Structure 1
Amino acid sequence: MSDDPFAQLKAVQREAWAVFAPLEAVTTMPAAELVRHARVFPQQSVLDVGCGTGVVGLTAARLGARVHGLDLAPALIEHAQKNAALAGVEIDFREGDVEALPFDDASFDVVLSQFGHMFAPRPEVAIAEMLRVLKPGGTIAFSTWPPEHFVGQMFALVGKYVPPPPGAAPPPLWGDPNVVRQRLGETVTDIVFDRGVMCFPTLSPQHYRKVLEETLGPVVKLVQTLQGDASKLATFRAELDGYIGRHLENNMLRQHYLMTRAIKR
Structure 2
Amino acid sequence: MKSDNETCVQKEYAQLAQKYDDKWHFYIEATQGETLKRVELNAGERLLDIGCGTGVLLETVEKSYPDAVLAGVEPTQEMLDIAYKRLSDRVQLEQSWASSLPFEDETFDVIVSCNMFHYIRQPRVALKEMVRVLKPAGRLVLTDWCNDYRTCQIFNLFLQVFNKAHFKTYRKKECHKLLSLSGFDHIKIDCYKINWFWGMMTATAIKGVSVQR
Shorter-normalised TM range: 0.7 to 0.9
**Contact 2:105–2:133 (CA under 8 A) maintained in structure 1:** yes
Give 1:41 shift: 4.1
Query: Which of the residues 165, 168, 171 maps onto 1:171?
Result: 168
Alignment partner of 1:11 is 2:7: yes
Q: Deviations over 1:165-215 (max 9, x none)?
A: 9xxx94212xx221122111252221112234334xxxxxxxxxxxxxxxx
Q: Normalising by structure 2, report the TM-score.
A: 0.83
Give runs of aligned pairs for residues 115-194 of structure 1, distance below 5 A: 115-149=115-149, 150-161=151-162, 164=164, 170-173=167-170, 176-185=171-180, 187-194=183-190
Q: Deviations over 1:42-80 (max 9, x none)?
A: 422000001111122222222212210111100101111
2:168 and 2:45 map into 1 onto residues whose CA distance is 29
Q: 1:257 to 1:137 in 2, by over 3 A?
A: same
Q: 1:114 to 1:106 in 2, by over 3 A?
A: same
Q: How many residue pairs end up in the alignment?
A: 199
- Give the secondary-structure state (helix, strand or coil) at the position aligned to 1:172: coil
Match of 1:109 in 2: 109
Q: Which amino acid aligns with 1:256?
A: G
**Contact 1:42–1:63 (CA under 8 A) maintained in structure 2:** no
**Contact 1:45–1:110 (CA under 8 A) maintained in structure 2:** yes
Query: Which of the residues 64, 73, 77 maps onto 1:74?
Result: 77
Q: 1:197 to 1:158 in 2, by over 3 A?
A: same
Q: Which amino acid aligns with 1:262?
A: A
- Give the secondary-structure state (helix, strand or coil) at the position aligned to 1:14: helix
Give runs of aligned pairs for residues 59-98 of structure 1, distance below 5 A: 59-64=60-65, 65-85=68-88, 90-98=90-98
Question: Which stretch shows the higher mean deviation, 106-115 or 180-189?
Answer: 180-189
Where does structure 1 lack aligned partners over 5 or more consecutive residues? 200-252
User: Percent same amino acid among aligned pairs?
Assistant: 21
Q: Which amino acid aligns with 1:35?
A: L
Q: 1:256 to 1:107 in 2, by over 3 A?
A: same
Alignment partner of 1:256 is 2:199: yes
Q: Deviations over 1:122-159 (max 9, x none)?
A: 11111111111111101011001012433442131122
**Contact 2:147–2:172 (CA under 8 A) maintained in structure 1:** no
1:91 and 1:131 map into 2 onto residues whose CA distance is 21
Q: 1:190 to 1:33 in 2, by over 3 A?
A: same
2:69 and 2:49 map into 1 onto residues whose CA distance is 11
Alignment partner of 1:99 is 2:86: no
Q: Which amino acid aligns with 2:191?
A: R
Q: Which amino acid aligns with 1:261?
A: T
1:51 and 1:109 map into 2 onto residues whose CA distance is 17
2:186 and 2:32 map into 1 onto residues whose CA distance is 22
Q: Which amino acid aligns with 2:86?
A: N
2:168 and 2:90 map into 1 onto residues whose CA distance is 31
Match of 2:211 in 1: none
1:43 and 1:197 map into 2 onto residues whose CA distance is 34
**Contact 2:146–2:191 (CA under 8 A) maintained in structure 1:** no
**Contact 1:24–1:55 (CA under 8 A) maintained in structure 2:** no
More helix by share: 1
Query: Which of the residues 187, 194, 201 maps onto 1:198?
Result: 194
- Give the secondary-structure state (helix, strand or coil) at the position aligned to 1:38: coil
2:87 and 2:155 map into 1 onto residues whose CA distance is 32
Q: 1:44 to 1:257 in 2, by over 3 A?
A: same
Once superposed, what is the RMSD of the aligned Cα atoms?
Answer: 2.3
Give 1:12 shift: 1.8
